[in-house]
Structure 1
Amino acid sequence: MTGRYFFRGDEGYEHARTRTVWNARTPERYPEVIVQAADADDVVDAIGYARQRGLTVGVRSGGHSWAGNHVRDGGMLLDVKGLDHCAIDTGARTAVVGPGMGGSVLAELLAEQDLFFPAGHCKGVCIGGYLLQGGYGWNSRVLGPACESVLGLDVVTADGERRYIDAEHHADLYWAARGSGPGFFAVVTAFHLKLHARPAVCGSSLFVYPLEAAEDIYPWARSISAAVDRRVELQIVASRSVPGAGLDTPGIVMASPVFADTEQEAIDALAVLETCPARSKALVAVPYAPTDLQTWYAGVMTNYPTGYRYGVDNMWTSAPAEDLMPGIRRILSTMPPHPAHFLWLNWGPSPQRQGMAYSLEDEIYLALYGVWEDPADDEKYGDWARSNMAAMQHLQTGIQLADENLGQRPAAFATPEAMDTLDRVRARYDPAGLFHSWMGRV
């Protein structure tokens, strides 16, 4: 092999293993060898080595998989974080970007040239895993999940061959790459991206309500699902304190980015938030303020501090509010201290999507993020997210892979038809099972 590599027992192995997982709750799983690729040649060599020795391969780009899906017992962990190149064609509005490029870094580079891409909401998330699983990012309610803006990919397949795939070249593998997430059966060395014009206005509203207003807020949010302008991301985050707003009491934060052509359009799009029946109870009320992505990233990361331990789970649903509220009450009454939080996102109804493995979404997205710092609290907080989602799973239509917990709670993330197609395409390109499938699925 070329590149840097560490066999289990080598000096530096454990550091190489733990650095592949952003979650400080690193799984107790141990690959036989970890390869840190610096370029596509290293990837080809690593795949050849794994194939010759019968090693099953897991791939990591940014390591933000909460479950550490790429870290498995035995086999090879192929780390492609070093493939972070980026070439932007401003005239064509396209870019060729390595899987190790941070989404927030890419967003900043594009902003300098008045361009935009629906990168992920959290700093540090690299585009590799983000784009493979779908990609719910900034302005994605308008632009679609980011995988819809993937024009093609450079990949290394299980036979060690380099291939360019798109709608006309290996179209079935291209179909699979957009939405199969950690179960994708090739290694991406570059994404060819469609870029968009930078929105003229980036704004936000901010309302903070006491936790007691939940009985008004969530039924109202469910009732306006279809009425929320797609330029608005209605994010409702409940936690035990709201440090970003200077509040050390439990609260429900309604923080809503908006992307528009004019400030008046942005203000008009956000106006629906003033109809909340708890409006008079707001502890903080900012109906509209101009902002930028860097400010948004800073605000988001107050809920996702580095070096903490995470237990995460999620669900899509179209259930009515009266069916959801018992579970929501349970979530709020058992929620660990901040930065643990409960996210409600008004997502749909969504437009018709392109043909791709990404095939399951719904009107409302619910996600739980257990977050704590002390390993001694693992038993106390580690199952909060899973157990609460399990109690509501009779209301779910599926999950999204960004916040998957498939190893602990298997659930559908694609339609049955899409899963059947994925299995057929996998059998063609990876007949010997060189690449790991999803956890929770044999």
Structure 2
Amino acid sequence: MNALPDGRHFFRGDDGYEPARRATVWNARLPQRFPDVIVQAADVADVVAAVRYAAAHDVKVGIRSGGHSWAANHVRDGGLLLDVSRLDSCVVDVPAMTAVVGPGKGGSVLAVELAERGLFFPAGHCRGVAVGGYLLQGGYGWNSRVVGPACESVLGLEVVTADGEQVYCDARHHPELYWAARGSGPGFFGVVTAFHLRLYPKPPVCGSSLYVYPIETADEVFGWARAISADVDRRVELQIVTSSEIPGVGLRAPGIVLASPVFADTEEDAKAALALLDSCPVRDDALVAVPFAPADLPSWFEAVMSNYPSGHRYATDNMWTSAPATELLPGIRRIIETMPPHPSHFLWLNWGPSPARQDMAYSLEDEIYLALYTAWSDPADDTRYGDWARTNMAEMAHLATGVQLADENLGQRPARFATDASMARLDAVRAQYDPQGRFHSWMGRV
């Protein structure tokens, strides 16, 4: 008997299968991987039915929340692809400063809705990213240098396990599953149907600084950024984006943009927190210099998405590092020299040193985060551009302590994303909750 939800499942070869597969991936570079069946869950009952179907037929399960996995980790050959993007409910308890949110809820939508109520959550930087995959992989978002990666604000989760059982996990109930859910990302061995989140007061002042430097100053800019990394106020996100042109400021040549959001209690506090960023040794060469300007989340989302236009084909890779600038600069020069056309770009993020974290699977981070995002529109350029990110990160791998799952490329370049102790613990918890291997592990790892 077919226990899958009527009208919301598509076997390979059915009418509607390919549109359903296409709809699970934001990246226009749709992988040539084909699940046997795609299930579009409308509620928790559909999730339970899909997981029990997979168990009865001994097939693996991949899970899609928002489809923003660059590598489309959820789309695998064979098995069942469970699309939970329609589980997007949100119930906010303003006095308690908590929310219960479905995995398909857009983080940018959540952030704006909360702001209207005077509340805040460290949602992801990109519009359209659903909270499901974002929270599971760790969740670096707005003001995360202060409130921590978003998974630290997950109070509990409602999960459908490998045998189709519905459980609630937190620090007291199924604590090992709770531990694993906060950082295991696409390797999590269950289906989250709701997240219980801690909320925060909306910061009174949101703003940013903006500096644009010519590409010829790269050595000085990145050397300075590394030198001040430990001194950057944690309320500030020092993000440096390098690309072959910067249309937003009318620069049709390669340039370096320092766009640094700040969250503070007063405008004076915000300006003081940003003051260090006005100390770059090539400050007089800046093409644009705005030490402080008021901002809000909608405008920040708009600015970020100018680097990630829809309809493009994307490839990414990344690394955490604590290497000195002298060792990083040769690789950075190579990145700049080989950079594909805009909107491809190189991101440098001053992240640490970080405070002590909660005990959770998210266990690997470092002082500096580097990521490459290749974007192109013509499939004929796949061979030309598709390996740029991987190649350059591979060249710098000897300087890396690991990678972040947000921009993982594990299928093409397996890399460390958790401490050895955490990986051993993840394997043990998986063996307990998913002994048959019902849920796919990370790409690049059996």
Same fold by TM (over 0.5)?
Answer: yes
CA distance in 2, matches of 1:94, 1:398: 33
What is the match of residue 199 of structure 1? 203
What is the match of residue 333 of structure 2? 329
CA distance in 2, matches of 1:98, 1:263: 35
**Counterparts of residues 220-231 of structure 1 (less than 5 Å):** 220-231=224-235
Among 387, 392, 395, the residue aligned to 2:391: 387
What is the match of residue 403 of structure 2? 399
What is the match of residue 277 of structure 2? 273
Question: Deviations for 1:337-395, whole angstroms, at most 9, x for unmatched residues?
Answer: 10000000000000000000000000000000000011111011000000000000000
What is the match of residue 360 of structure 1? 364
Matched, 1:18 2:22: yes
What is the match of residue 264 of structure 2? 260
The letter of the residue matching 1:352 is A
Q: Secondary structure at the residue paired with 1:380?
A: helix
**Counterparts of residues 281-360 of structure 1 (less than 5 Å):** 281-360=285-364
What is the match of residue 107 of structure 2? 103
Work out the number of aligned pairs and report it. Answer: 442
Deviation at 1:18, TM superposition (A): 1.1
Please report the RMSD computed on the Cα atoms of aligned residues, expressed in angstroms: 0.5
CA distance in 2, matches of 1:22, 1:278: 39
CA distance in 1, matches of 2:218, 2:371: 16
What is the match of residue 431 of structure 1? 435
Structure 2 gaps of 5+ residues are: none
**Counterparts of residues 28-427 of structure 1 (less than 5 Å):** 28-427=32-431
Structure 1 gaps of 5+ residues are: none
Q: Secondary structure at the residue paired with 1:49?
A: helix
Q: Secondary structure at the residue paired with 1:288?
A: strand
Question: Deviations for 1:179-216, whole angstroms, at most 9, x for unmatched residues?
Answer: 00000000000000000000000000000000111010
Question: Deviations for 1:30-49, whole angstroms, at most 9, x for unmatched residues?
Answer: 00000000010000000000
CA distance in 2, matches of 1:166, 1:218: 41
CA distance in 1, matches of 2:247, 2:125: 19
Q: Secondary structure at the residue paired with 1:303?
A: coil
Q: Which 10-residue stretch deviates more, 143-152 or 238-247?
A: 238-247
Deviation at 1:268, TM superposition (A): 0.3
The letter of the residue matching 1:30 is F
The letter of the residue matching 1:368 is L
Question: Deviations for 1:116-142, whole angstroms, at most 9, x for unmatched residues?
Answer: 000000000000000000000000000
* TM-score normalized with structure 1 length: 1.00
CA distance in 1, matches of 2:441, 2:14: 27
Identical pairs, percent: 72
The letter of the residue matching 1:296 is W
What is the match of residue 2 of structure 1? 5
Question: Deviations for 1:298-318, whole angstroms, at most 9, x for unmatched residues?
Answer: 000000000100010000000
CA distance in 2, matches of 1:273, 1:135: 25
The letter of the residue matching 2:339 is M
CA distance in 1, matches of 2:208, 2:247: 18
Q: Secondary structure at the residue paired with 2:234?
A: coil
Q: Secondary structure at the residue paired with 2:340?
A: coil
Question: Deviations for 1:143-174, whole angstroms, at most 9, x for unmatched residues?
Answer: 00000000000000001100010000000000
The letter of the residue matching 2:188 is F
* TM-score normalized with structure 2 length: 0.99
Deviation at 1:247, TM superposition (A): 1.7
The letter of the residue matching 1:361 is E
Question: Deviations for 1:79-121, whole angstroms, at most 9, x for unmatched residues?
Answer: 0000000000000000000000000000011001000000000
The letter of the residue matching 1:145 is P
Q: Which 4+ residue blocks in structure 1 deviate beyond 2 angstroms?
A: none
Deviation at 1:57, TM superposition (A): 0.2
Q: Secondary structure at the residue paired with 1:222?
A: helix
CA distance in 1, matches of 2:319, 2:22: 28
CA distance in 1, matches of 2:107, 2:164: 28
The letter of the residue matching 2:420 is P
Deviation at 1:243, TM superposition (A): 1.1
Q: Secondary structure at the residue paired with 1:356?
A: coil
Deviation at 1:246, TM superposition (A): 2.1
Q: Secondary structure at the residue paired with 2:74?
A: coil
The letter of the residue matching 1:85 is S
CA distance in 2, matches of 1:6, 1:51: 18
The letter of the residue matching 2:210 is L
